Amino acid sequence: MNKPPLTPLSSLGEFGLIDRLTRRARLTNPSSCRGAGDDAAVLDYNNGKRVLVSSDMLVEGIHFDLAYVPLKHLGYKAVAVNASDIYAMNGTPRQITLSIAVSSRFTVEALDELYEGVYLACEKYGVDLVGGDTTTTTSGACISITIIGEADKDRIVYRNTARVRDLICVSGDLGAAYAGLQLLEREKRVLDGNSIAKPDLDNHHYILRRQLKPEARGDVTQRLREASILPTAMIDVSDGLSSELLHICRGSGVGCRVHEEKIPVDPCTASLLEELNINPITGALSGGEDYELLFTAPLDNFDALSTIEEISIIGYITPPEEGCHLVTRDGSLVEIKALGWTNFKNNE
């Protein structure tokens, strides 16, 4: 079956490409006055709310590998991880600007596929694409998103406001995205230079989805609002549970106790990591890219939190002199260290 010829980017030029990639953008939020097509987007937040702004960049070879990451999934993930930052502040995402740098090896159809994922995520999270930039690069690709959200002044949750005796909670389960990455990297190594072998990805759909198409947990913040629970501190789990715990504790000037047996790990995650000789709790502590919400809440909320689906109470906040420790299954205390992803170091 003959495929239609692919279109080189040079056939459209920069402005033709921008027109093509943004022609499907529709403004659905009242605060979006003017989007792509001018020197800057125009937003109107004259409603007593606070504006939340966050930026995130995905770089080929560092954050994604196109050997196994579909472009549509990449576009979706780029939006989702930014929406996660707004939800972690207990806000609502409203707009994004999207900038990309790509080399000449990309075709128009390839970028159409990337933007297909972007628009799916925009629809999912209720955000408008209101602008951005495109440029060329000599190698690889880079995606940079700035996201704008809003929140009531008295409902914004920071990461440095946890209090002694607060409960420590996390949504969903942890380590799945890390397990998915380990699986994809393993299959890439096996297939390298082997044109006959096929990837062995059967029965691993959950962990692959968690790595390739993560979801931001706006549903969790909604459930907390419905239960009249306002977290005292919150952060999303992008760099691993251990790193995020220390962000909260150091910023808040407190310590913590987290119980190993309370950390939620999906059976599919545990099975794959054990097959790879990795302790599942190690994967949960250091893996990252789960984009679950880690938060603290008053002890008085224990009963209400216990009834909310997909929320696990994993520990409690202690005075700073008690340090930050993991309580193992045998009752031993192990100091929590930042084992997750850190830029500008060897993360092999």
- What pLDDT, in 10s, does the model give residues 148-166? 999 988 999 999 999 999 9
3-state SS, the chain, equals CCCCCCCEHHHCHHHHHHHHHHCCCCCCCCCEEECECECCCEECCCCCEEEEEEEEEEEECCCECCCCCCHHHHHHHHHHHHHHHHHCCCCEEEEEEEEEEECCCCEHHHHHHHHHHHHHHHHHHCCEEEEEEEEECCCCEEEEEEEEEEEEHHHCCCCCCCCCCCEEEEECCCCHHHHHHHHHHHHHHHHCCCCCCCCCCCCCHHHHHHHHCCCCCHHHHHHHHHCCCCCCEEEECCCCHHHHHHHHHHHHCCEEEEEHHHCCCCHHHHHHHHHCCCCHHHHHHHCCCCCCEEEEECHHHHHHHHCCCCEEEEEEEECHHHCEEEECCCCCEEECCCCCCCCCCCCC
Q: For residue 38, what pLDDT is reported?
A: 60
- Model confidence band, residue 147 (pLDDT cutoffs 50, 70, 90): very high
Domains of the chain listed by start with CATH number: 9-155 (3.30.1330.10), 167-335 (3.90.650.10)
pTM: 0.89
- Mean of per-residue pLDDT scores for the chain: 91
Q: Is the pLDDT of residue 346 over 70?
A: no
Q: For residue 347, what pLDDT is reported?
A: 47
Q: Is the pLDDT of residue 342 over 90?
A: no
- What pLDDT, in 10s, does the model give residues 186-224? 999 888 767 666 777 888 999 999 999 999 999 999 999
- Model confidence band, residue 1 (pLDDT cutoffs 50, 70, 90): low
- What pLDDT, in 10s, does the model give residues 6-46? 999 889 887 788 888 888 888 998 888 877 766 666 777 77
Q: For residue 34, what pLDDT is reported?
A: 79
Specify the higher pLDDT residue, 252 or 343.
252
